[in-house]
Amino acid sequence: DAGDVQANGFQIASDEWPGKTITDSGASYMGFAVSAILASAANPDCPYILAFSGDGSFTMNPQILIDGVEHGARGCVLLFDNNRMAAISGLQMAQYGKEFATWHERPIDYLGWAKSVPGVMAISGGHSPEELMRALDKAFDYKGLSLIHIPVYYGTDPLGSMGVYGRWNVGNWVEETQKLRHKIGL
Which domains are assigned to the chain? 3-184 (3.40.50.970)
Q: Is the dihedral of CA 168, 82, 147, 13 positive or negative?
A: positive
Average pLDDT over residues 139-167: 81
Residues contacting 175, CB < 8 A, separation 6+: none
pTM of the model: 0.79
pLDDT in tens, 54-110: 888 888 878 999 999 999 999 999 999 999 887 778 777 777 788 888 888 898 999
- 26 pLDDT more than 50: no
* CB distance 61 to 31 below 8 Å: yes
pLDDT in tens, 117-128: 999 999 999 999
Cα–Cα distance, 136 to 109 (Å, whole number): 19
